[in-house]
Structure 1
């Protein structure tokens, strides 16, 4: 017998950018393989600020309800009441999604409800539908909703804290994507049932890699290209010490334009990076800031890079960049600049990757980069095994979600 799950998510095609899109879409595509039919409830495209190509699967039923972005649709001279942005700028979605969700529930009789953060309104919608219908709810929290100083706005932090408490109280399961985030959730809610807290990490989409053409390598010699693909947050992935390390190695003639190139693709903060680079004249000879590419092309570029760069600061030790799993699948040498005590470093070490340096130390970065370049040029750079890589696929993650859904429904019926 086919079971149904109502999936409530803001991040869904044709929204452009964000790992949340791939997580929800991949879950929806693979769930039927495990006896679950998804029904996706998302926002009207007008609510999206950046639209891209719609790569959604036509076989997945998608329903879009009324939603506005307060900052664009409800602002007067660029300002809007704080009430219209709590817990986020899409709170108006709740007004359209709850009635729409009730209609879908009456028509399709789903066995479970699933909602995805970081748009907290999705959890509010799921909470409302769960309270109105009694259908078991799984809250895919992913990263922490609250943390020390996060969200920065104290009022929003209180609201997020309330939503998290409601999920612990009412949801059949609350899901995190990293061990650290799961531990933090348990510490904030020590009375939570251990069976209620679940770990389902992010992953990579094999279908994208299967169809991406690897970038052809030029026959003529070229500088070693180290690629960082994706957003570089000024605090959470601060490249300042990296630039200082590159400047030192450049001045010592350990690297140069003829043998090294750092490509920062789609940083989303190019102006900030240029300001940092100006402190080290000459970096523009080896560092290139490049615009975003369509997702398929970005994956192809990863497959063709000489090396891949991952950045994650110590203030994100309980988070793992979704890019990490794509990097592992690309099977290119990987240099991670991150805190050795964080979940990112632990995941890499478990995969056999030890080319890791401290992001906050220019001296450590310089040493790690020289070692990394030596290992790459002598074909000794560590790569993850095919077995470990396959365990991080989104198909494997969906199997974990299906098992959680099965346990949830079974518990409700016994």
Structure 2
């Protein structure tokens, strides 16, 4: 069979750094060619990214066509003394990307004749670009929502995004995408239920679920871990790899207080325990809390490192940390799948009713405590450390690991594309 082509509109793509979302698009472009689909990637110029690195450029297959459209970060490139016109950041700070991406996308479509367009959130402008290209060409359009574009807390009625202008703009794009697309893809069961409830008029067969995952090819390229060396360490090391937020969604400060309590009662010390927060962001705020609690000899704020080095670090520590508040119950951090593949014990500070907790329970792994309870975290952390020391902390088995690979997700996407192509 001759390969078919798909135009993939994705803001996050190497050399971008700092977003776990780029791994989803990158893995699709790695695995789709073997499934008879040739990706054509329409992304942004590297100058638009806050952080770049060359370490994953080599992961882009040579056969994949990549075109980059000029883009600015309004908050960084158009601001004066930290202020900028609000309309230049609606529906997001990268709306300028659309001005160049649409004509480049049209040229790509005329030249390569893809069978479908695929666009991916969390940059709302990507869906705007996908919609315009769909309207101008009539090509089928797959909308990769991943997580909901807008959210309303059923208890507090708080909205995300909080800015009313952003909320209205993204809600409009979301409705256009759901009602005009060929297929709408979510990454968790909770997010899928939200959308099905929000848009009951949409046919059931328009919805699809393609979870995130880990990339086995990348893990296979990492040097093997020495479990014997790890078992003989005197100090237990826990790691969180990625961005945290000083908001209820991923706020580590109750965790800091739990550590301070364990240190106070002599359960841990700098000689027996260490926590690494890798590339957490908001370091100034967290450092202030850490110093105030007197745990600076236990908790280390470390800078970002290349992707493979970050995965290797996950595989070499004694335990891995997840932070997720109740507001994000329908979401699953992409790093969870990499944590599962790393086969290390997981301490998940998450709500027990969320999708993240459900995956951990189904996999038979993870110690769970609510993110906002110092008392509960203290108790669970104490038990978790004891399990690590005596070797009883559960880790994912091989069958569980395989179910969460990105290659499997690419097969699901190829299935959607095949179905769409047959209907044309």
User: Could you tell me whether the CA contact under 8 Å between 1:87 and 1:121 is conserved in 2?
Assistant: yes
User: Could you tell me whether the CA contact under 8 Å between 1:10 and 1:122 is conserved in 2?
Assistant: yes
CA–CA distance in 2 between the matches of 1:76 and 1:289? 30
What residue is the counterpart of 2:44 in the other structure? Answer: 43
User: Could you tell me whether the CA contact under 8 Å between 1:230 and 1:267 is conserved in 2?
Assistant: yes
What residue is the counterpart of 2:205 in the other structure? Answer: 195
Residues 58-95 of structure 1, C-alpha deviation per residue, up to 9 Å, x if partnerless? Answer: 22110112322223333345433222111112212111
By how many angstroms is 1:247 displaced?
Answer: 1.4
User: Could you tell me whether the CA contact under 8 Å between 2:347 and 2:384 is conserved in 1?
Assistant: yes
CA–CA distance in 1 between the matches of 2:231 and 2:264? 29
Are 2:384 and 1:372 equivalent residues in the alignment?
Answer: yes
CA–CA distance in 2 between the matches of 1:240 and 1:57? 41
The two structures, once aligned, show a CA RMSD in angstroms of 1.6
CA–CA distance in 1 between the matches of 2:204 and 2:104? 33
Residue 169 to residue 221, structure 1, CA distance change in 2 (3 Å): closer
CA–CA distance in 1 between the matches of 2:345 and 2:75? 41
By how many angstroms is 1:205 displaced?
Answer: 1.2
What residue is the counterpart of 2:339 in the other structure? Answer: 327
Are 2:109 and 1:102 equivalent residues in the alignment?
Answer: no
What residue is the counterpart of 1:263 in the other structure? Answer: 276
Residue 6 to residue 186, structure 1, CA distance change in 2 (3 Å): same
Are 2:10 and 1:6 equivalent residues in the alignment?
Answer: no
Are 2:182 and 1:172 equivalent residues in the alignment?
Answer: yes
Unmatched segments (≥5 aa) in structure 2: 153-158
CA–CA distance in 2 between the matches of 1:297 and 1:391? 24
SS of structure 2 residue aligned to 1:279: helix
User: Could you tell me whether the CA contact under 8 Å between 2:230 and 2:316 is conserved in 1?
Assistant: no
What residue is the counterpart of 2:323 in the other structure? Answer: 311
What residue is the counterpart of 2:74 in the other structure? Answer: 70
What residue is the counterpart of 1:147 in the other structure? Answer: 151
Are 2:292 and 1:291 equivalent residues in the alignment?
Answer: no
CA–CA distance in 1 between the matches of 2:326 and 2:48? 33
CA–CA distance in 1 between the matches of 2:322 and 2:77? 36
Are 2:97 and 1:93 equivalent residues in the alignment?
Answer: yes
User: Could you tell me whether the CA contact under 8 Å between 1:214 and 1:301 is conserved in 2?
Assistant: no
Q: What does 1:102-141 correspond to in 2, within 5 Å?
A: 102-141=106-145
Bigger Cα displacement from structure 2, 335-344 vs 263-272: 263-272
Tell me the matched-pair count: 411
What residue is the counterpart of 2:196 in the other structure? Answer: 186
TM-score calculated relative to the size of structure 2: 0.93
What residue is the counterpart of 2:64 in the other structure? Answer: 60
What residue is the counterpart of 1:388 in the other structure? Answer: 400
By how many angstroms is 1:204 displaced?
Answer: 0.8
Unmatched segments (≥5 aa) in structure 1: none
What residue is the counterpart of 2:259 in the other structure? Answer: 246
Are 2:353 and 1:341 equivalent residues in the alignment?
Answer: yes
By how many angstroms is 1:380 displaced?
Answer: 1.4
Are 2:223 and 1:213 equivalent residues in the alignment?
Answer: yes
What residue is the counterpart of 2:214 in the other structure? Answer: 204
Residue 227 to residue 106, structure 1, CA distance change in 2 (3 Å): same
